[in-house]
Amino acid sequence: MIKYLKLHDDKCVGCMTCTATCSRLYAKLDNPAKSRLQVNPLGAGKFHLIACDQECRKCVAECPTQAISVNSQGVVLINKSLCVGCLACVAVCPIDAMRFFPGESTPYKCVACGACVKTCPKDALEIGSKEDGPASQQYQEFAAVAQGART
Amino acid sequence: MSQTFSKQDFKLIKEVKLGNKPIHRGYAMRTLYVNVGSQEIKDKPVSEDMKQRFIGGKGFGLKLLWDGTKPATKWNDPENEIVIAMGPVCGNTNYPGSGKSLVVSLSPMTGVPIDSNVGGFFGPYLKFGGWDALELQGKAAVETIVFIDSNEGIVQLYESPAGIEQDTHLLAEQLTHAFAVDEKDLQSIAVVSAGRGADHSPMGLLNFSLYDKRRQGIRVKQAGRGGIGTVLRNKKIRAVVGRFGGVSQNLNDAADPAAVQRVGLKLHREIVVNDDKQCKMRKQGTAHLMEVMNDYDLLPTKNHKYGQDPKGPELASWVWEKLFSQNLPDGCWFGCTMACAHAVDHFLLETGPYKGTKVCVDGPEYETAAGVGSNLYVYDPHGILELNFYCDTYGIDTISFGTTTGFLMECWEHGILNLERTDGIDLTWGNWQGAAQILHDMADGKRFGVLAGRGVKFLADYFAKEYGADAQFLKDIALHGKGLEQSEYISKESLAQQGGYYLTNKGPQHDEAWLIFMDMVNNRIPTFENKAEALHYFPMFRTWFGLQGLCKLPWNDVEPADNAKHAEPNKVPEHVDNYRELYEAITGQALSWEGMIRMSEKVYNFQRCFNVRQGGGRRQDDYPPYRAMGPVLEDEYEARAERYDKQMQEKIGVDPAGKSTAEKVKITRQFRFKQYDSLIDAVFKRRGWTQDGCPTPEHLKNIGMDLPEVLAVVEARIAGQA
């Protein structure tokens, strides 16, 4: 199973409460650029929310130090002590959910903690769960090919 | 895995605590000196003048090597050094290809300085201990392991214990486990080692390891060229082990870390988007070149006799893509999304001492697949992998080995060699098992293996003297410059590339200039002056990578989507600007494009002067063997008769009609040598050298390399005293 932040663009009004909650929690200041969740205005009162779907795991496969892993709830986490700050994960993320702040050494991403869900006034966010699919398993299959390469 | 060791099993000979020093703006401003003979271990300051003049990396390496050796120093004298130097940009984790070490030494193959560019973790780890370079000098009395703990700031010499393995794939694994504090520390260990082949051959290489967490074992990258592994073994150094844990984003203490991230991420994204449409480095590595070279008649086939064969597609990129484990971050340093360091996992060996075991084969890269593949008429990928693996673990350069074995097979074809002379090894074209047997015999120190390992320059003389073979023919097909075997591109049809190979400081290696497409295919540099300009610009530009600790591949093995729209697409201008920006962001020093070239000019000319000091650096040292320039044999001419006849008519102005092939071979040969002479004239002039290839004092003053000791060398040469 995969725990993830389910996004309802149709309910979002762009109040930025979620980004404030997130950046305060993790970066100790209200700065949307440091939020793990992004609110992108599309115009005409519409918004597009971006947060890691915890599913594609391209970043897990790409990380050269295995600093990015998947926990028992299916959430993709970064171990900052192993991260070398190369930003390869940022480059391979297909939806720009892997974030970094210029000059700071490690990237960050949504870990589906649910803090923003509690503060969103419009129910545009919820913690969801979904089944593992082929994409979410791939990173393990890639690594398995090389394991035990010697006898 | 073989017997396990822990550090406690090793007898400590010497320990010196020199402390860790933080990097400031890319520099530590000190170097580490280790004499394994006298056991002296000390730090040396880097002066501001050394930094400005020699920049870093290869520049620092050559400067230290110059100071540590004398004009009479030979490769196997104790005072010869191995210098491993990094450069100010090296070790950043953001820009792809930023983990290179530059290794220099007086080469056993050429007698002049060799420089070799290598990935792996050792260089960056050394740098993070606060070292811009490591100098290894002296000869140890006992087999020695040098351990540099960059976290603790300690340098130790250990006696290599009995029972430890000698071949890299086992030795580096043993040492990685022995020196790691615990399982989590395995990725903190990097090992530099050679192998048994390097004990017996001047073409020995250095393997630089990296611990691959996914494979749970070591990988190796090679400082392949020029025999530095042989120097290591001659010094009785079994291995040099580095340790550093805690790599993070800005250990270089960049002046503008955000700019380093910005330019790095820009290239990461470019690679992620463009690579699959361009070179496919992430899937195929440099092996993507195989069918391209075969299509353009550039893939060495039968000792560079031909550049193409109908069997070429059997070694095409898609063959390697299937064999390589895919979707792994196979960079040789953290943050290299180009990830070209592919490997074939679970490979079952069929020959030699490790027959029947499954191993991880690092590679093949293009040079290896061509050198021990098509060049030997081997079109069996298994054979290539076997030769690749054994070259690496024995510490033998695949390029020199491939070119040498191609020479031996051609000698076999012409009856110069036979079973009696090869001690029973059949060297028929395509017999990779025969080639493998040479390697095993080299590692075991057996006669023919040791003889073969001397390289083509020696062998051409030897076969002429011992077997009465045609000396001129042997000289023509012995593909070397200054004693170093040529790497794996056919240069016959590109005069500029002949210069790119042979008008080099270290010998014919393609890292200075690769001009074949510009010259032969696209005809962008038609005149001698055009070619000379290219043979100025590209060697200088490419030298810059070696000053910084950078890999060349992300420069032009991926390109911006709009690169072709620029006036000079061959220079990949946007990427040059990336490098300028990266350098400025790390060092805080302003840099222009002209400034980049000037940095390189200083070091390039210094290296040429170094050659002069050691008795080389003359015009006569810069001529190719004729196989690199044109058809040596009549059947070689006839196989491309249409091309050569047309050239005779149009370029030479001679009507080929009615002439015998022998006559046409001779006329072509004379013409091509004359062309090459004109090229040398133009290139030496452009580079500011005399017509004998010596940098002039005026030129050295102009570029800021007018150190008194350097001027003394060139003035003596020009005055005819040296």
CB contact under 8 A, B214 and A105: no
CB of B266 within 8 Å of any CB in chain A? no
Instruction: Tell whether B589 lies on the interface with A, counting CB pairs under 8 A.
Output: no
For testing contact with chain A, the best of B95, B171, B249, B266 (most A CBs within 10 A): B249
Report how far residue B270's alpha carbon sits from residue B297's, in angstroms, rounded to the nearest whole number. Answer: 31
Strand-pair category, A46-50 with B11-17: unpaired
CB contact under 8 A, A88 and B1: no
Q: Give the gap in angstroms from C-alpha B257 to the nearest C-alpha of chain A.
A: 5
Which residues of chain B have a CB within 8 Å of the CB of A143?
214, 328
Give the chain B residue whose CA is nearest to the CA of A138.
B327
Q: How far apart are CA B301 and CA B123, in angstroms?
A: 35
Backbone angles phi, psi at B629, to 5 degrees: -115, -25
Cβ atoms of B35 and B24 within 8 Å: the answer is: no
Question: A105 and B213 in contact by Cβ < 8 A?
Answer: no
Interior angle at CA B498, CA B461 and CA B711, nearest 5: 85
CB contact under 8 A, B328 and A63: no
For residue B185, give the chain A residue with the closest CA. Answer: A82
Flag if A88 and B335 touch (Cβ within 8 Å): yes
Number of domains in chain A: 1
B216 touches chain A (CB under 8 A): yes
- Nearest C-alpha in B relative to A106: B249
Q: Which two tokens stand for residue B268?
A: 């990461």
Low-confidence ranges of chain B (pLDDT < 70): 1, 721-722
Q: Is B94 on the interface with A (CB under 8 A)?
A: yes
- Asked if B358's CB is within 8 angstroms of A149's CB, the reply is yes
- What's B94's DSSP letter? S
- In this structure, is residue A63 part of a structural domain? yes
SS3 B88: coil
Q: List C-alpha distances in Å: B240 to A123, B158, B165, B207.
A: 60, 10, 14, 10
State the pairing for strand pair B133-137/B30-35.
parallel
List all residues 6 or more positions away from B523 whose beta carbon is below 8 Å from its beta carbon.
none
How far is the C-alpha of B60 from the C-alpha of B568, rounded, in Å? 31
Chain B environment of A105 (Cβ under 8 Å):
248-250, 257
Q: Which residues from A are below 8 Å from B250, CB to CB? A: 85, 105
Best of B219, B267, B328 to mutate (most A CBs within 10 Å, chain A): B328
Chain B nearest C-alpha distance from A107 (Å):
11
CB contact, 8 Å: A69 with chain B?
no
How many CB pairs (< 8 A) connect A and B? Answer: 111
In a domain, A151, yes or no: no
B265 at interface of A, judged by CB pairs closer than 8 A: yes
Cα distance between residue B241 and residue B280, in whole Å: 33
Q: Does B325 contact A145 at a Cβ distance shorter than 8 Å?
A: yes
Query: Which residues have CB under 8 Å from B279's CB, separation 6+?
Result: B288, B557, B558
What is the identity of the amino acid at A11? K
Distance, CA of B400 to CA of B454 (rounded, Å): 10
Count of C-beta atoms within a 10 Å radius of residue B310: 8
Contacts of B392 in chain A (CB under 8 A): none
* Chain A residue with minimum CA distance to B260: A103
Q: How far is B216 from chain A (nearest CA, A)?
A: 7
C-alpha radius of gyration, chain A, whole number: 16
List CB contacts (< 8 A) between B328 and chain A: 61, 142-143, 145-146
Which of the four CATH numbers 3.20.20.70, 1.20.1630.10, 1.10.569.10, 3.30.70.420 does domain B275-485 have?
Answer: 1.10.569.10
> pLDDT band at residue A151, thresholds of 50, 70 and 90?
very low
Q: DSSP assignment of B17-43, as one string?
A: E------BTTB-SEEEEEETTT--EEE
What range does the domain containing A97 cover? 2-146
Closest Cα in chain B to A91: B269
| Residue B682 near residue B531 (C-beta atoms within 8 A) | yes
Residue type (1 letter), B427? L
Give CB contacts under 8 A, 24+ apart, made by B420-426.
Answer: B421/B448, B421/B467, B422/B448, B423/B447, B423/B448
Q: Closest approach of chain A CAs to the CA of B53, in angstroms?
A: 30
Give me the residue from B93, B346, B359 closest to A85, CB to CB: B93
CB-nearest to A145 from B248, B269, B345 is: B345
A63 touches chain B (CB under 8 A): yes
Instruction: Report the CATH number at residue A131.
Output: 3.30.70.20
Question: Which residues does B177 contact at the CB level (< 8 Å), separation at least 6?
Answer: B1, B4, B5, B186
Closest partner CB to B337 (pick from A91, A106, A138): A91
Beta-carbon contacts of residue B192 (< 8 Å; ≥ 6 apart): B84, B122, B206, B207, B208, B209, B232, B239, B240, B241, B242
Whether residue A149 is predicted with pLDDT greater than 70 in this model: the reply is: no
Domain B495-718 sits in CATH at 1.10.599.10
Contact A100/B at CB under 8 A:
yes
B555 CA: distance to closest CA in chain A (Å): 18
Residues facing B11 on adjacent strands: B159
Q: Quick check: helix, strand or coil at residue B203?
A: coil
B275 to chain A, any CB pair closer than 8 A? The answer is no
Tell me if chain B has a CB within 8 Å of the CB of A127. Answer: no
Written as one string, the DSSP assignment of A52-116 is: --S---HHHHH-TT--EEE-TTS-EEE-TTT-----HHHHH-TTS-SB--TT-SS-B------HH
Planar angle of CA B29, B33, B38, nearest 5 degrees: 160
Question: Is residue B24 within 8 angstroms of chain A, CB to CB?
Answer: no
Residues with Cβ within 8 Å of residue B543, at least 6 apart in sequence: B58, B512, B600, B603, B604
| Residue A12, min C-alpha distance to chain B (Å) | 30
With tokens 């006696």, the residue in question is B159
Nearest chain A Cα to B215, which residue?
Answer: A147
* Amino acid in the structure at residue B398: T
* Rounded alpha-carbon distances, angstroms, from residue B701 to B35, B617, B696: 34, 19, 9
The ipTM estimated for the assembled molecules is 0.96
Q: Which helix (H) or strand (E) covers residue B64, if one does? A: helix B58-68
Closest-CA distance, A144 to chain B, in angstroms, reads 8
Long-range CB pairs of B306-314 (<8 Å, 24+ gap) are B306/B490, B306/B636, B306/B639, B307/B490, B307/B492, B309/B374, B309/B377, B309/B379, B311/B374, B311/B377, B311/B379, B312/B374, B312/B379, B314/B379, B314/B380, B314/B381
**CB < 8 Å to B335, chain A:** 64, 84, 86-88
Which residue ranges make up each domain of chain B? Answer: 275-485, 495-718
Residue A134 touches partner B, C-beta closer than 8 Å = no
Confidence of residue A143 (pLDDT cuts 50, 70, 90): confident
Separation CA A149–CA B590 (nearest Å): 47
Strands B144-149 and B237-243: parallel
